[in-house]
Amino acid sequence: MKAMVLNSICTIDNERNPLKYVELPEPEPAEGEILVEISASGVCHTELDEIEGRTPPPRLPVVLGHQVVGRVASLGTDAGRFEKGDRVGIAWIYSACGTCRFCLSGNENLCPDFMATGRDADGGYAEYMTVSERFAYPIPDLFTDIEAAPLLCAGAIGYRSLRLANIEDGANLGLTGFGASGHLVLKMVQFRFPNTKVFVFARSSKERDFAKELGAVWAGDTAEEAPERCNCIIDTTPVWKPVVEALKNLEPCGRLVINAIRKEEIDKEYLLHLDYPSHLWMEKEIKSVANVTRFDVREFLRLAAEIPLRPEIQTYDLEDANTALVELKERKIRGAKVLKII
């Protein structure tokens, strides 16, 4: 099978082609697993974190990609949840132990044995992959394969972020950064909380214009102050400056939800600007988002079909994955990026 493989940790700024287009043996499903013939795989900033070593794969080479849509090609022994030909999705959560206190309480995203698709196991930048049938999801019929791919991470993690924001209809919500996840959160808010105002903070003028096209009441630079304070702000950026800047835009008792698996080191010194009275006092709080659960994915796909939630998409062929990643690094973004596999 054809695949785009990461062989070594590197920096996108220096290595513009970190993934190599190679031929690999087709994997075989183990007990309880399914073999998926992949049709589409979303491109996520987490792939940059893997490539550049902020959340490095435990082994190399590895096939990246954790927003995967395809059809069941074959079943391993004792696998019976799906039939051959069924369309399924695979998300960031590849597996969890199922027996620890986190798994038993519904917080399998915090499992110490959590495994991530495309990091701890080969993912979707390939023609085939295997996964436990327990960690695959039926895709609602109204979405095409390309439309469904970003829903499995950008959408699902955005849904979890919105849950952790704990807002009520009529509250003010801020979004810092406006890429794949941010634009889906805005659409979710418009459906679930029609009286909520959304304020967008983004360093890119194109992202700000895109946010206003989709219905944000205001869009400004990351360092600007919004015309109204926010009850909650969701940060989807890879850097530190927006964290500090967002805190000054929060109401008392406001919450900042950080939706990022890692933050880059390039502007970490900005934390020295953190001022307790203006940024953290008045019972403001910061909460991180760690991975997703299967519940998040299932519930979000149901909601996405109900809205219906259709992401804005830029598509690329599998062999052009490096181009998509470089553009993502350079913030050349409008919605979500997806690889067409077949």
> Predicted confidence band at 232 (pLDDT cuts at 50, 70, 90)?
very high
pTM: 0.94
In the chain, the number of structural domains is 2
pLDDT digits (tens, 9 = 90+) for 107-117: 999 999 999 99
Domain termination residue (choose one: 288, 306, 326): 288
- Residue 292: predicted pLDDT: 97
CB atoms within 10 A of CB 88: 21
Q: Please list, in sequence order, all residues whose beta carbon lies within 8 angstroms of the beta carbon of residue 87, skipping any fewer than 6 positions away.
A: 69, 70, 71, 138, 139, 145
Looking at the fold, whether 327 and 270 belong to one and the same domain comes out as: no
Q: What is the domain extent for residue 128?
A: 2-153+292-340
Q: Which residue has the tokens 């003028």?
A: 205
Angle, in degrees to the nearest 10, between helices 154-165 and 180-192: 50
- Domain identity same for 210 and 85: no
Which has the closest alpha carbon to 334: 150, 145, 92? 150
In this structure, are 259 and 209 located in the same domain? yes
CATH of the domain at 28: 3.90.180.10
**Each residue of 150-173: pLDDT tens digit?**
999 999 999 999 999 999 999 999
**What burial letters (b/e) apply to 268-295, b meaning 16+ CB within 10 Å?**
eeeeeeeeeeebbeeebeeeebebbbbe
> Are 174 and 220 contained in the same domain?
yes
Q: What is the mean pLDDT of residues 58-68?
A: 98
Partnered with residue 285 across adjacent β-strands are: 255
Residues 39 and 83 in one domain: yes
Cα 172 from Cα 185, distance rounded (Å):
14
175, 185 Cβ separation under 8 angstroms: yes
Check residue 162 and give its pLDDT: 96
pLDDT digits (tens, 9 = 90+) for 7-59: 999 999 888 899 999 999 999 999 999 999 999 999 999 999 999 999 999 99
- 104 lies in the same domain as 219: no
Strand pairing partners for 128?
Answer: 37
Query: Quick one: what percent of the chain has pLDDT higher than 90?
Result: 91
> Could you tell me if 22 and 134 lie in one domain?
yes
Cβ atoms 66, 152 nearer than 8 A: yes
Mean pLDDT of all residues in 51-76? 97
Last residue of a domain, one of 288, 307, 332: 288
Residues paired with residue 235 on neighbouring β-strands, in sequence order? 176, 258
Pairing state of beta strands 19-23 and 313-317?
Answer: unpaired
Residue 151 to residue 160: CA distance in whole angstroms? 12
How many Å apart are CA 89 and CA 101, to the nearest integer? 27
Domain match, 116 and 63 both: yes
Do 178 and 214 lie in a common domain? yes
What is the CATH number for 223?
3.40.50.720
Residues 6 and 87 in one domain: yes
pLDDT score, position 151: 96
What one-letter code names the amino acid at 260? Answer: A
Whether 331 shows a pLDDT value over 90: the answer reads no
| Residues 7 and 58 both lie in one domain | yes
Q: Are residues 137 and 42 in the same domain?
A: yes
173-213, pLDDT tens digit by residue?
999 999 889 999 999 999 999 999 999 999 999 999 999 99
